[in-house]
């Protein structure tokens, strides 16, 4: 008997086969998309952690440079105060001597009939001025003698602190970077996700933290001995007008044809190791010398104050007239002052490179592939053996089995100045002369920002982390 099989009977079960195949393909695509998404999320976490760590380390270095700048400013301010004290000491001694000499002349003039009624009251006033000036002079002398040891102690302490910053600042910056990476790890009820970690192999350390620390130490330098020229210049430029140069005004520089008064005074640094402050007042009269008409000077008042290590009387100022000689002989002499302080500043002061002056801080982080929540790490694709429909095992492909990220931040100097684009908040920090100010450790305007790595830097870091360096050509920024 002939059996006929219908078309429907012959095709029965084919839909189930197609369904199984479609489900398997869909599962593979889903696994691949899921794994790719998780790897990308892990990569972004690594990149964010690296950027944050690099910026944290560079910011720590910038703040340390600003701290050193504030310390330098503090030292300079204290040195300026010493110069002001010496100037006041010289000036009040000069006022006392001047008042005493005027009193003496007025007492002599009182012997002239008809002059005593005017001269004696003025002489009494001069006597009071002399008495007050002498007391003030004695007090200032004692004050300077007390202040100098305090100043020297402050200088020693700040110098030690700056030395510690110079030697240990790189380690503090590294610690800030590591803490930032640690902060980027998930923490839930005391359980921490393994997350990203600082790449700590020896090769990576040499390319990042060891190099960062060496660059930090070399970036600044202690300027002492005959290298204190910049410190001396800044100290002299920081003096107020009274301290630096105080000639007489009005009656102090009086000229009445053949007679007059000549007032002079100021403060100066002799070399690096002695302050000298001097005031003189002289009466001059027109006379006749061998070379013709000339002025002859008679001292009226003088004052002097010196400070150096040994308490010496200092040099004789020009012109070497009697007033200068008396001032040098009678001036107060203070010892134990060590001179212009030795201060830290930028090591490389080459004019050609100062526009690019800065310091880089490089970080490398890694996120092991096992820390990504892929189908493999979640045991979703474990199968004993592949079936006829295929395998669900679709592992992510990561070189060196990790997400790696590199970042670099730049420590740079920029003082706000008038005319900068989009700078609306720092008008109080503008220089009065609107000039461009270059980096130094006398101004606290150091800051940090992220910057891209070069191909060479990325290639070297990739090699150190076991990644093929040719990827540096097409990977954006410090990502991998």
pLDDT at 389: 44
Residue numbers of the domain that contains 145: 16-222+360-480
* DSSP H or E segment with residue 177: helix 116-183
Kindly report, residue by residue over 24-83, the tens digit of the pLDDT: 666 666 656 655 665 666 677 788 889 999 999 999 999 999 999 999 999 999 999 999
Q: With respect to residue 277, please indicate whether it lies within any of the assigned structural domains.
A: no
pLDDT at 285: 92
Phi, psi of 297 (to 5 degrees): -110, 140
Of 76-80, 155-159, 182-186, 238-242, minimum mean pLDDT range: 182-186
- pTM for the model stands at 0.82
Kindly report, residue by residue over 173-209, the tens digit of the pLDDT: 999 999 998 887 766 666 556 678 888 889 999 999 9
Q: Which residue has the higher pLDDT, 421 or 450?
A: 450
- Other CB atoms within 10 Å distance of the CB of residue 2: 3
Question: Residue 297, SS3?
Answer: strand
Confidence grade of residue 376 (pLDDT, cut at 50, 70, 90): low
Q: With respect to residue 377, please indicate whether it lies within any of the assigned structural domains.
A: yes
Instruction: Find how far residue 250's CA is from the centre of its chain.
Output: 44
Question: How many structural domains comprise the chain?
Answer: 1
pLDDT at 327: 95
Contact 328, 276 (CB under 8 A): no
- Quick one: average pLDDT of 317-331? 93
Kindly report, residue by residue over 226-236, the tens digit of the pLDDT: 999 999 999 99
Which residues are bridge partners to 281 per DSSP? 263, 301
Q: Is the pLDDT of residue 473 over 80?
A: no
User: DSSP string covering 73-129, please?
Assistant: HHHHHHHHHHHHHHHHHHHHHHHHHHHHHHHHHHHHHTTSTTTHHHHHHHHHHHHHH
pLDDT at 164: 95
Q: With respect to residue 23, please indicate whether it lies within any of the assigned structural domains.
A: yes
Q: Is the pLDDT of residue 92 over 70?
A: yes
* DSSP H or E segment with residue 7: helix 7-10
Helices (H), strands (E): how many in the chain?
Answer: 9, 13
Burial (CB count <10 Å: 0-12, 13-18, 19+), residue 165:
buried
Q: Is the pLDDT of residue 457 over 60?
A: yes
Q: With respect to residue 402, please indicate whether it lies within any of the assigned structural domains.
A: yes
Q: Work out the mean pLDDT of the chain and round it to a whole number.
A: 84
Q: With respect to residue 339, please indicate whether it lies within any of the assigned structural domains.
A: no
Q: With respect to residue 58, please indicate whether it lies within any of the assigned structural domains.
A: yes
pLDDT at 161: 94
Instruction: Find how far residue 21's CA is from the centre of its chain.
Output: 68
- Other CB atoms within 10 Å distance of the CB of residue 348: 11
Q: With respect to residue 300, please indicate whether it lies within any of the assigned structural domains.
A: no
């Amino acid at each position: 008997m002939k059996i006929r099989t219908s078309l429907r009977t012959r095709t029965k079960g084919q839909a189930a086969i197609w369904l199984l195949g479609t489900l398997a393909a869909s599962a593979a695509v889903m696994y691949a998309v899921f794994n790719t998404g998780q790897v990308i999320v892990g990569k972004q976490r690594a990149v964010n952690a690296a950027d944050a760590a690099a910026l944290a380390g560079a910011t720590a270095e910038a703040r340390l440079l600003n701290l050193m700048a504030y310390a330098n400013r503090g030292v300079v301010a204290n040195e300026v105060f010493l110069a002001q004290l010496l100037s006041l000491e010289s000036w009040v001694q000069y006022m006392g001597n001047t008042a005493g000499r005027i009193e003496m002349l007025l007492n002599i003039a009182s012997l002239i009939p008809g002059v005593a009624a005017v001269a004696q009251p003025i002489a009494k006033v001069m006597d009071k001025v002399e008495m007050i000036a002498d007391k003030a002079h004695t007090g200032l002398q004692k004050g300077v003698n007390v202040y100098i040891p305090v100043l020297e102690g402050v200088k020693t302490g700040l110098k030690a602190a700056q030395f510690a910053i110079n030697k240990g600042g790189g380690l503090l910056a590294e610690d800030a970077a590591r803490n930032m990476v640690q902060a980027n790890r998930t923490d839930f009820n005391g359980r921490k996700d393994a997350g990203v970690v600082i790449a700590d192999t020896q090769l990576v350390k040499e390319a990042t933290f060891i190099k960062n620390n060496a660059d930090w130490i070399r970036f600044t330098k202690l300027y002492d001995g005959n290298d204190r020229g910049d410190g001396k210049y800044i100290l002299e430029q920081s003096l107020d007008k009274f301290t630096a140069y105080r000639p007489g005004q009005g009656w102090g520089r009086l000229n009445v044809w053949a007679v007059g008064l000549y007032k002079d005074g100021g403060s100066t640094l002799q070399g690096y190791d002695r302050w000298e402050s001097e005031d003189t007042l002289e009466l001059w009269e027109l006379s006749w010398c061998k070379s013709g008409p000339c002025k002859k000077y008679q001292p009226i008042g003088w004052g002097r104050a010196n400070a150096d290590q040994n308490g010496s009387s200092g040099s004789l100022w020009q012109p070497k007239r009697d007033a200068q000689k008396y001032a040098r002989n009678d001036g107060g002499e203070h010892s134990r002052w060590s001179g212009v302080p030795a201060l830290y500043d930028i090591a490389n002061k080459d004019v050609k490179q100062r526009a690019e002056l800065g310091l880089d801080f490089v970080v490398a982080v890694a996120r092991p592939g096992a820390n990504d929540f892929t189908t493999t790490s979640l045991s979703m694709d474990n199968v004993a053996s592949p079936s006829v429909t295929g395998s669900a095992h679709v592992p992510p492909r990561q070189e060196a089995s990790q997400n790696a990220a590199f970042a670099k931040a730049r420590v740079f100097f920029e003082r706000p100045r008038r005319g900068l684009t989009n700078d609306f908040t720092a008008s109080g920090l503008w220089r009065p002369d609107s000039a461009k100010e270059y980096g130094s450790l006398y101004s606290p305007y150091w800051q940090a920002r992220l910057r891209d790595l070069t191909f060479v830097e990325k290639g070297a870091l990739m090699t150190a982390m076991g990644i093929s360096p040719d990827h540096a050509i097409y990977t954006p920024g410090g990502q991998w």
